[in-house]
Amino acid sequence: MYEVIYLPTALRQLEEIVDYITFELNAPDAALDFIDAVEAAANSLSEMPYRHPVYRTRFAVLEEIRWLPVKRYNIYYKVFEREKVVEIRRVLHQLRDTDGPGRL
């Protein structure tokens, strides 16, 4: 089993997404459904973190970042095998441009 942790950036992004869904879209139930879906997806990484694809980019990267879709968002994460840790790094809308150096 792997420990799943969230970077502060990912937590802030989740908070912003939930606030947007709750207040801008006036859909608090949808925001709760979204959080439940993210938690379920993130918790599933504790058992099989390598089942999701590596994020491919046009640029050379130093780290292997993986991603999994949740509703209209993607969760980007890194697996630290030696420590048995999955680090959630970003939660971004699928239409957001993430292809570029330093974007993830």
Position 29 in a domain:
yes
Position 98 in a domain:
no
Position 74 in a domain:
yes
Statement: residue 14 has pLDDT above 80: yes
Position 52 in a domain:
yes
Position 103 in a domain:
no
Statement: residue 59 has pLDDT above 90: no
Please compute Rg for the chain using Cα positions. 14
CATH number at residue 59: 3.30.2310.20
Position 79 in a domain:
yes
- Of 13, 14, 15, 99, nearest in space to 61 by CA: 99
Statement: residue 97 has pLDDT above 70: no
Number of domains in the chain: 1
pLDDT, average across residues 29-33: 98
CB-based contact 34:21 (threshold 8 Å): yes
Position 104 in a domain:
no
Is residue 15 packed enough to be buried (19+ CB in 10 Å), middle (13-18) or exposed (0-12)?
A: exposed
Position 68 in a domain:
yes
- The predicted pLDDT at position 99 comes to 58
Range of the domain at 80: 3-93
- Per the listing, tokens 């420590």 go with 83
Q: What is the residue-averaged pLDDT of the chain? A: 91
Q: What is the pLDDT of residues 69-96, one digit of tens each?
A: 999 999 999 999 999 999 999 999 998 7
- The predicted pLDDT at position 68 comes to 96
- pTM for this predicted structure: 0.88
